[in-house]
Amino acid sequence: MTSEEKTLAGRILLLMGSKTFKEKELPQEISEKIDEAIALDMTIIVGEAAGACRLYQDYLELKHYPDVVVGHARSMRYNAGSWRTVKYGDDLKERERAMIEAADSALVIWADRSGVIAENLELLKRRSIPTFLYEYETKTGKAAGSWLDPDRIYDTYYDMKEYWRSQKEQKCQKGRAEET
């Protein structure tokens, strides 16, 4: 499947993006993909942080789209449409990972090569989730949209982070087992 043939898939769309994305409105490529998801009656999961997620929410509210879930970790900071909320974890990493696991497709705004988003892009890529990526550099205003490239490395440290995450998880499980 070529980049031009890719499309949103499944029933659940994840909208994710950098909090440093401070534009006044969504890029046209992104709003067109959201409109496509609305036409397909997809459930849309969106975060509640500043930046891209607020723009996503404001756009969905403007469209009066009801099938939206706002994902959060510790607390709810923003819910433009008074939509249903789901706690996807106790911290940012848990929330991001759980939201990705729930998604069939994703739209991502990646500003200034954010490390958190880079890690999420690796996870989306490795799970083969169809993802449209909008890259933006705030200093130059340079922007480009395309489908996630399965051959590109978005986070060079991803494998190391996953190794240490699994080591920490094993240590926690071992500690819990010893307590019982």
**pLDDT tens-digit map of 147-169:** 999 999 887 776 676 767 677 77
Q: What is the pLDDT of residues 69-128, one digit of tens each?
A: 999 998 889 999 999 999 999 998 899 999 999 999 999 999 998 888 999 999 999 999
Question: Where in the chain are the domains?
Answer: 3-152
pLDDT exceeds 60 at position 4: no
Q: What is the predicted pLDDT for the residue at 167?
A: 78
- Distances in whole angstroms, Cα of residue 117 to Cα of each of 80, 97, 147, 154: 23, 11, 15, 9
CA distance 149 to 157: 17
Q: What is the pLDDT of residues 42-77, one digit of tens each?
A: 999 999 999 999 999 999 999 999 999 999 998 889
Q: What is the pLDDT of residues 9-41, one digit of tens each?
A: 999 999 999 999 999 999 999 999 999 999 999
Q: What is the predicted pLDDT for the residue at 3?
A: 46
Give the long-range contacts of residues 161-164, CB within 8 A, separation 24 or more.
Answer: 161/119
**CATH architecture of the domain with residue range 3-152:** 3-Layer(aba) Sandwich (3.40)
Tell me if the pTM is above 0.95.
Answer: no
Q: What is the predicted pLDDT for the residue at 52?
A: 96
Q: What is the predicted pLDDT for the residue at 159?
A: 67
